Amino acid sequence: MTVTAPATDFVPHEPAAARRSVLLAPITVTPSKPLTPSHLKGLLWTDVMYRATRPLADVTYRYSHTTYHPTEQTLGFWEFLDRTHGDGDYSVLTEDEIGALYVEFRADGRPAPVPALRPYAEAAERGWVHPASARILRLWSEHYAGLGLHDPGLLRHQPPGLGLEAVLARLHGLGMCLDQRRDGGPVYLDLTRYGLPLRRLVTADGRPNYLACALRELVALAPDFDEVVLLYDRELDPDYQLLARVLGALGPEIRRVPVGRVPVDGQVRSARHGGWRDHQARTLLADARERYAPAAVRLGVRLYFVATLGPGQGESYRPDLLDQCFRRAERLIDAGQEPPAVPLAQRLARHRKDHVYVDPYRVTSQLLGRRRTPPARDLLSAVFL
């Protein structure tokens, strides 16, 4: 028996009066390289959380590359490409080839001067994307489709609700901004009255960092939601503690969900150094599709990256365990049962604690117990396929 996703986007919901609103705001991946196991883990955790929470709440999944293009990491890469490689035809390059250029950029180590970055920043605010990153995003959208991931708008222009000066003014009104630009200095997020350290947002020469971009987006959005869920790399926990403190002052409940990276051969390495080899999404999908049906691939990657690896980063990437998850997925799909009398929303609600969102690990790991009853088809279709 084969279970496929429902033909419509309908999922059963709780009564409107009982529903709360949730903003799901995961960290983005810079469009400059292949998707690695660590990237896949974060994306799959977010996808399961989004799809499992929708029957219980009104969920907005905000994932805007537009918001984070103004960071030096992205603009610097674009300037580097144009300066060192000219007007190449990036539309024919693979993720590996563009990723190799990104490794070259990071190894160069020389930041571009602000005047050289300014035209890129202004163009990005208007919706322009460098052809290399546009190529990466198009390739990623194909991987999203193959993995059954909800596409939150990879190819859309989604500007943040506030400009840089506007968000700094909001922070100043909250007593959280230390602006030293008049004296030739940087701008800091100042949460020292909460016992938290100063954190630079904008350099003295005007370059915003990732946290400044996140604030431009989330300070505008957060007040309209009951709960804001921040999913991010554990290494960024200090910044996300600061971000949570700011957003919490705007009214909503803030939930931080750190997700560990995936070591490869016992080491956690940044994609800036390369080393993705045969572990990237493209090769993973190609290999799995040769042996398994699409539904088994979609469920199998979730069983592995969410339930088997868990929220930490103690376990290295193991293709043999991933393959076991594909085989387990086949058996679970074949054994899928008709839904019980208990509504799906009520069954999913068991995987919450004091928060509105559904815990991805809890709802996925329930499928792996040896003595578990076979999963209901509506759960598989709504959350995992």
Residue 30 within any structural domain of the chain: yes
Among residues 383, 379, 382, 385, the alpha carbon closest in space to that of 340 is found at 379
pTM of the model: 0.91
Q: Please list the residues that pair with 231 across neighbouring strands.
A: 26, 257
Asked, for residue 2, whether it belongs to a domain, the answer is no
Asked whether residue 100 is assigned to any structural domain, the reply reads yes
Beta strand extents in the chain (DSSP E only): 20-26, 57-61, 177-179, 187-189, 199-202, 227-233, 253-259
Enumerate long-range contacts of 303-307, CB under 8 Å, 24 or more apart.
303/328, 303/329, 303/364, 303/367, 303/368, 305/37, 305/40, 305/41, 305/44, 305/45, 305/262, 306/41, 306/44, 306/45, 306/48, 306/360, 306/361, 306/364, 306/365, 307/361, 307/364, 307/365, 307/367, 307/368
> How many structural domains comprise the chain?
1
Residues facing 21 on adjacent strands: 58
Instruction: Please give the single-letter amino acid code of residue 148.
Output: G
On whether residue 149 sits in a domain, the answer given is yes
Q: pLDDT 10s per residue in the chain (385 long)?
A: 344 443 334 444 545 456 899 999 999 999 999 999 999 999 999 999 999 999 999 999 999 999 999 999 999 999 999 999 988 899 999 999 999 999 999 888 788 899 999 999 999 999 999 999 999 999 999 999 999 999 999 999 999 999 999 999 999 999 999 999 999 999 999 999 999 999 999 999 999 999 999 999 999 999 999 999 999 999 999 999 999 999 999 999 999 999 999 988 777 766 665 566 677 888 888 889 999 999 999 999 999 999 999 999 888 999 999 999 999 999 999 998 898 999 999 999 999 989 999 999 999 999 987 767 889 999 999 999 9
CA dist 29 and 45 (Å) reads: 14
What DSSP assignment string belongs to 60-82?
EE---HHHHTTSHHHHHHHHHHH
Q: How many residues does the chain have?
A: 385
Amino acid 281: pLDDT: 87
Look at residue 5 and tell me if it is in a domain: no
Phi first, then psi: what are they for 200, rounded to 5°? -65, 135
Q: Identify whether 350 is part of a domain.
A: yes
- The answer to whether residue 309 sits within a structural domain is yes
Domain that holds residue 139: 17-159+262-384
Q: Pairing between strand 227-233 and 20-26? A: parallel
184 φψ region: left (φ > 0), alpha (ψ -120 to 50), beta (else) = left
Is 4 inside a domain boundary?
no
